[in-house]
Structure 1
Amino acid sequence: MSKEFEAAHERFVKQHLEARSGERRGRLERGHQYAEKLFLRHIWWPLLGRFDDLHPEYEVQDWNRRSQFLDFAFLPRGGARIGIECDGFQSHIKDMDREKFSHALNRDSFLTGMGWKMLHFSFDDIRDRLEVCRMLLQLSLGPLTGTASAASPSRLSPEEKDVLRLAWSLGQEIRPKDLRDRYGFCHRKARGVLNSLVRHNLLRPISGGTYMCKYETTGSFPEALLRS
């Protein structure tokens, strides 16, 4: 995947550089750096495998008609506008004074009023908590890209839905013992429910010696589970 990503990323940046001039080109050359590429490599590419309709260092205007640049804008057909920001603690919080902090909040509120949906990912999460970032991105883009879920929630039993919610709430590997303690399942039933979620590509087994004794979430979190 690394070689495929690198080739696609190089084409992606080159395409946008060739289409720009002046400050818009300079901003892309200066602004698309380590954090932005890390987001694409570890969060965007594994979910979508393409950069269609994605624009790096995208120019917008604030309420004073001053130019601002979003790290990314996702502009699929149909008119949706998604702004994506990769926020480092040092540059976006620690080094902000009160005026810059207020302006950042006002900018997001203004863009929201103009029909944008703004997504913010911290650099620490992009680097260390990939599954959380993928899940959040998937929930936001799924209705627009067809990636909302790996399995239709209607195909999951109520018990499977409960176990999937439990797996996400634990924030760590889930074991058959967790299901026995929470729901009173026998070992066979607990393994059966967990393995069913594996078949739906919602859990991934982790080998423990000769047995699959732990499972982790895959990041393919069905959006409809939030409403079911």
Structure 2
Amino acid sequence: MGFTEEHSRWVEDHISRRTGERRGRLERGHGHGERMFVEKVWWPMMGHFNDFHPEYEVADWRSKPYFVDFVWKPGQVKFAFEIKGYGPHVQNTDRTRYRQELNRETYLQIAGYRVVAIPYDDLEANPELTITLLRPLLMPYLALRAEEKMDFSRLERDILRIAVRSNGCIRPVDLVRELGIDLRTARKYMRSLCEKGKFNPVVSQVSGRVCRYEYVHSFRDIHLW
């Protein structure tokens, strides 16, 4: 299914689950700039709208409702995306409103959101630049999300912890000593973790056999332990 169909279905799904001002804000607020962002940046970069919310309501520091253009919430991570046009945000003559907008962005950071401003002009003239800037910012969290879905047994988690403590390099005999398992079991689980992309086998230049395993570091490291 292409962008037009998926986009319509995504918006309609959110509308159907909202009432009152939350619904009205989505119907009114998802305009040209927002659609251009999802069509020219988000869809080419992601290919889906999973965990992506348009006109997302949050409370500001005064407990008043505030709608962020987009919020992406993959797991415990929260990104807030705001489409910034030059006129409304730079030449704004309502200084009180301008200050409140800046204070809201600061408050979003306090509330745990990573706030990302998207220049409207780049969406029109150079969306590839926006993709280039966003990809290295977001991809680590996609990798983390993918690993969260990967099923590790208790013994595999113990092996991963040992690898981190050992500066990322272990031998099957290390597992025998630390975990009290036999050598055959150690080799079996190391092969399983290699298949899951968590280790790379290192072959001895002398014997031609696998002598140790190097841990493949990832952004999940700080969450796994």
Distance 2:70 2:93 in 1: 21
Is the partner of 2:8 in helix, strand or coil?
Answer: helix
Distance 1:15 1:105 in 2: 31
Deviation of residue 93 (structure 1)? Answer: 2.3
Is the partner of 1:10 in helix, strand or coil?
Answer: helix
- Cα pair 2:57 2:66 within 8 Å, conserved: yes
1:116 aligns with 2:113: yes
1:53-102 CA-to-partner distances (Å, cap 9, x unmatched) read: 0000000011100000000000112x111000111112222234221221
Could you tell me which amino acid in structure 1 is paired with residue 62 of structure 2? N
The match for 2:134 is: 137
- Cα pair 2:71 2:80 within 8 Å, conserved: yes
Task: Decide whether aligned partners of structure 1 residues 96 and 115 sit closer, same or farther in structure 2, where only a CA change above 3 A counts.
Answer: farther
Could you tell me which amino acid in structure 2 is paired with residue 119 of structure 1? V
Could you tell me which amino acid in structure 2 is paired with residue 11 of structure 1? R
1:138-178 CA-to-partner distances (Å, cap 9, x unmatched) read: 1221111139xxxxxxxxxxxxxxxxxxxxxxxxxxxxxxx
1:117-156 CA-to-partner distances (Å, cap 9, x unmatched) read: 0000111011111121001211221111139xxxxxxxxx
The match for 2:223 is: none
Task: Decide whether aligned partners of structure 1 residues 96 and 45 sit closer, same or farther in structure 2, where only a CA change above 3 A counts.
Answer: farther
Percent sequence identity over aligned pairs: 38
Could you tell me which amino acid in structure 2 is paired with residue 61 of structure 1? A
1:35 aligns with 2:33: yes
Could you tell me which amino acid in structure 1 is paired with residue 4 of structure 2? E
Could you tell me which amino acid in structure 2 is paired with residue 5 of structure 1? F
The match for 2:81 is: 84
The match for 1:203 is: none
1:157-209 CA-to-partner distances (Å, cap 9, x unmatched) read: xxxxxxxxxxxxxxxxxxxxxxxxxxxxxxxxxxxxxxxxxxxxxxxxxxxxx
Q: Which runs of 5+ in 1 are unaligned?
A: 148-228
Deviation of residue 20 (structure 1)? Answer: 0.2
The match for 2:73 is: 75
- Counterpart selection for 1:15 from 13, 17, 31: 13
Is the partner of 1:20 in helix, strand or coil?
Answer: coil
User: What is the total number of aligned residue pairs between the two structures?
Assistant: 144
TM value normalised by structure 1? 0.61
The match for 1:107 is: 104
Q: Which runs of 5+ in 2 are unaligned?
A: 145-225
The match for 2:187 is: none
Task: Decide whether aligned partners of structure 1 residues 96 and 44 sit closer, same or farther in structure 2, where only a CA change above 3 A counts.
Answer: farther
- Root-mean-square deviation (Å): 1.4
1:58 aligns with 2:51: no
Distance 1:104 1:93 in 2: 12
Rg: which structure is higher? 2
Could you tell me which amino acid in structure 2 is paired with residue 29 of structure 1? E
Distance 1:46 1:146 in 2: 18
Q: Where in structure 1 do 4 or more consecutive aligned residues deviate above 4 Å?
A: none
TM value normalised by structure 2? 0.62
Distance 2:113 2:64 in 1: 17
Distance 1:134 1:74 in 2: 15
